[in-house]
Amino acid sequence: MGAQLRVYRRRMRSVKATKKITKAMELISASRILKAQQRVAQSSPYATELTRAVSAVATFSSTSHPLTTASVNVKRAAVLIITADRGMAGAYSNAAIKEGDLLIAGLKARGVEVAAYLVGRKSVNYYRFRDRAIANSWTGFSDNPQYANAVEVSESLINAFTSDSTSEILGVDELHIVYTEFKSMITQTPVAAQVLPLEVDASERPEGLLPMYEFEPNAGEVLDALLPRYVQARVFNAMLQSAASEHAARRRAMKSATDNADELIKSLTRLANAARQAEITQEISEIVGGADALASASAGSE
């Protein structure tokens, strides 16, 4: 019985050590969520207004530009999937990958070839394990992305979108992005959005007489200037949304792990107490039995 008690105590020490780690990770994620939320709140208005500006050019001008004109025959599309570099965040990365798989399946059903662009080690490892083709990948900054990282990713996507048939880079006709939208500390939703060509929502267009816009030097050059900034803003905002979602998911997962560790410690404590009491009872029984045996032996000798 003593050996069983040692096993329980060893397991309790192991669970307590694990609990310290999960509790520390929970506190770290909780401290980083606020900063991530602030960055999302700061970048969202810029990305929204820039999208509106591009939409205004597309809506109120007759210029045909690749940024706003959908290709008649879409042959190839780029899909950017943003996941985490590290695990212990519940189903955060798997949900984004699954949303990407659904998007890719829909594109392939239309006869469109897909080029996968990946951010985060989780998506990279997922694709490599399944021997899937990767057009480009970036890792090491999923939980704290900087604007320079968004610029690097955007340049690769823009080069693919603007390249022609004579370029060494395989061109794409559409650009989609899959990320996790941060709605609250509890709710984070994977989202698939088309970035290029820009889809102008008809419900957002004003009714009645349309205002007259003048573009200097012309609408085409304005769109050429807005293209990299628009993509960079959308990609950076998606990275920040995903980073905030990652911290929230990791905090929730680590809190659940800490609570489970507490329950396991309580269960092991009860088992250890039961084993210790059974050991004490057995020792008492052995002492009493030995005393009875000595007493019987002494009575027989008399």
Length of the chain: 302
CA distances from 283 to 4, 6, 70, 120, 276 (A): 15, 17, 84, 59, 11
How many helices (H) and strands (E) would you count in the chain?
5, 5
Average pLDDT over residues 81-93: 91
Comparing 218 with 142, which gets the higher pLDDT?
142
pLDDT of residue 59: 65
Q: Are residues 158 and 167 in contact, defined by beta-carbon separation less than 8 angstroms?
A: no
CATH superfamily of the domain spanning 21-200+212-255: ATP synthase, F1 complex, gamma subunit (3.40.1380.10)
Residues in a beta bridge with 67: none
pLDDT band at 49 (very low <50, low <70, confident <90, very high): confident
Domain spans of the chain, in order of start: 21-200+212-255
pLDDT of 26-48, one tens digit each? Answer: 888 888 888 888 888 888 888 88
Average pLDDT over residues 268-291: 82
